Structure 1
Amino acid sequence: MLYNFTIIAIALFISCYIYGSKIEPNWIEVVPIQLTIPNLSPAFNEFKIVQISDLHSNRFMPTKRLDRIIKLVNQQKPDVIAITGDFITKHENFNSQELEEKLSKLVSQISTLSVLGNHDHKGNANATDNLKQALVNSNVTNLDNQVYVIERGTKKLTFAGVDDPYWGKPDLDRVIKLLPDDSAAILLVHEPDYIAKSAATHKFALQLSGHSHGGQIKIPFLNPFILPYGGKKYFAGLNQIEDTLEYTNRGLGMTGLPLRINSRPEITVFTLHSLS
């Protein structure tokens, strides 16, 4: 009896490891979401945002998988691509030239925008500087406490970004001062639980975040056992806090245990609609 139990347990462990390390990390889910934004101008009806997050460029993000991610993003024909941080992994070397080459293949109608995450800051300063330069070289606009205004005639849609709230140098007050008065605003910030602060300003229609990986390893019907600081409350999916919508993307890479179980890597496709 004990022998049989041991064999079953070993077989189950091996099966979970193979699934979590080889199958689910490659089983990328493209999630379509229709969003009605109350103060969005009709000029931006059907505006398409494709969000990716947490690439974690390291040995657990093979070149072949990254190529497939880029291809899937481009197939969505986005107006804007939003990358919500953690391009790299703390204390691990990354190939800035390779990352630059891959990111430069992203194609959007208007722009590719980003913010940095905790891992992008928690390595050495050289890694952060190299990452920022790679973003510049690959035509990714890093919204480091900045805004990016898109105009269609006299109508505007604004994207804003806050540097990582816990390990970067965030300046939400500066961002708010830069916001146009007559525009719907979308905030990019790595940690989803920052919504408690951003929603209180009543300045943003939508916040896009990542960070939590959806728990990365999740038992069905239960909340994840391990969630990172800043991503414990709103760890996945669509949420509403006061008058602001918040979406947490499950990300594409892995940290800690290089496994994904019941938390598939995600590319999110938002199609925006106005009330009128």
Structure 2
Amino acid sequence: MITRRGFLRLIGGSFLSMVSLSAYAIGIEPMLLTHVKRYSLTPPHWPAGLKLRIAALADIHACRPWMTPERIGSLVEQANALQPDLVVLLGDYVDGMQMVTADVPAPEWASALSGLKAPLGVHSILGNHDWWHDHAAQLAEAGPTVARQALESAGIPVLENDVVRLEKDGHGFWIAGLADQLAIRPSKALGRHGFRGLDDLDGTLAKANDGSPVILLAHEPDIFPKVPSRVSLTLSGHTHGGQVRLFGYSPVVPSDFGNRYAYGHVVEDDRNLIVSGGLGFSIMPVRFGMPPEILQIDLG
């Protein structure tokens, strides 16, 4: 039988363990040196001889004290050190929670991102928070958002239901970027019910009008079941890997598909999806088992 002293020691030890884990999840793991998550694959229909390195950054969520312009600058240096052929930004540059000491104005985080360098350029899409926190865009149910204007002013093109054709080593390929799938929030005052996306998958892919392979940028991974096989690779963010992930499982995932598209490399019917764990956080400043990450993706 456990004694009173033993019981108090057990309770005290459990309490200290919980405090330590909480301190780690809030104060340490979110601020750890960002992990580089590497993937190497040759998707179906990928041209022989085309080797392409992509660096992908997702869900920056600029804010103080967690994701300052200075920290974004260090992420830029880390991404550049990978010597990518191409850099893609997967949306959600704006902070996504109330537990911040200050917002980071769009020109500041965009200026920090302008330091990204790659021979084939830097290309971006927007995320839901880039729309949700833009009051004028929500009222108009249309852009351009403040985030888009900031990125373009910093020299970073934004793809919203649009494409760009690139070439490397004599091979052409397309980067296709979707507009956000949850862009317009519900509003009782405006009579809006449910989220409304501005994405147009079919219209976007129709612009990639030759047989060259397509890399699709889609902030939310929930579009993946609709993505046709002509798309070699879909890159997404949004989920943050659940922010808390243990033994390959995340208890809370902002996706209609739960853990199916929560994180990592997913292959379905020879179609490839990679979901980034992201760099910042939303709702709560907590990461556990899911440190911040930059993606390095080597194709071919």
**Taking structure 1 as the reference length, what is the TM-score of the superposition?**
0.90
Distance in 1 of aligned mates of 2:287 and 2:15: 19
Quote the residue 2:244 is aligned against.
217
Shift of 1:77: 1.1
Shift of 1:138: 1.5
Q: Report the 3-state secondary structure (helix = DSSP H, G, I; strand = E; otherwise coil) of the residue aligned with 1:193.
A: helix
Is residue 119 from structure 1 mapped to residue 129 from structure 2 by the alignment?
Answer: yes
- The residue identity in structure 2 corresponding to 1:189 is A
* Selected match of 1:228 from 232, 254, 277: 254
Shift of 1:140: 1.4
Is the radius of gyration larger for structure 1 or structure 2?
A: 2
Which residues of 2 match residues 1-276 of structure 1 at below 5 A? 1=5, 2-27=7-32, 28-45=34-51, 47-59=52-64, 60-90=66-96, 93-126=103-136, 129-152=145-168, 155-167=171-183, 168-198=197-227, 201-218=228-245, 220-221=246-247, 223-230=249-256, 232=258, 233-273=260-300
Contact map agreement 1:24 1:264 (CA 8 A) in 2: yes
Contact map agreement 1:192 1:231 (CA 8 A) in 2: no
Deviations 1:148-168 (A, max 9, x none): 101247631111011111224
Contact map agreement 1:156 1:182 (CA 8 A) in 2: no
Distance in 2 of aligned mates of 1:14 and 1:69: 29
Deviations 1:27-58 (A, max 9, x none): 3110121111332234522x110111000112
Q: Report the 3-state secondary structure (helix = DSSP H, G, I; strand = E; otherwise coil) of the residue aligned with 2:94.
A: coil
Distance in 1 of aligned mates of 2:276 and 2:96: 20
Q: Which stretch of the first structure deviates more once superposed, 135-144 or 152-161?
A: 152-161
- The residue identity in structure 2 corresponding to 1:191 is E
Distance in 1 of aligned mates of 2:170 and 2:58: 32
Deviations 1:108-147 (A, max 9, x none): 1111111111111112334872211111012211110001
Shift of 1:234: 0.8
Q: Report the 3-state secondary structure (helix = DSSP H, G, I; strand = E; otherwise coil) of the residue aligned with 2:284.
A: coil
Distance in 1 of aligned mates of 2:109 and 2:279: 14
In the superposition, relative to structure 1, how do residues 126 and 91 fare at CA in structure 2: closer, same or farther (>3 Å)? farther
Distance in 2 of aligned mates of 1:44 and 1:217: 36
Distance in 2 of aligned mates of 1:91 and 1:214: 17
Contact map agreement 2:106 2:150 (CA 8 A) in 1: yes
In the superposition, relative to structure 1, how do residues 43 and 148 fare at CA in structure 2: closer, same or farther (>3 Å)? farther
Shift of 1:172: 1.1
In the superposition, relative to structure 1, how do residues 254 and 175 fare at CA in structure 2: closer, same or farther (>3 Å)? same
Distance in 2 of aligned mates of 1:254 and 1:91: 8
In the superposition, relative to structure 1, how do residues 182 and 106 fare at CA in structure 2: closer, same or farther (>3 Å)? same
- The residue identity in structure 2 corresponding to 1:5 is L
RMSD: 2.0
How many residue pairs were aligned? 269
Shift of 1:104: 0.8
Contact map agreement 1:237 1:249 (CA 8 A) in 2: yes
Structure 2 residue ranges without an equivalent (≥5): 138-143, 184-196
Quote the residue 2:140 is aligned against.
none
% identical aligned pairs: 29
Shift of 1:203: 2.3
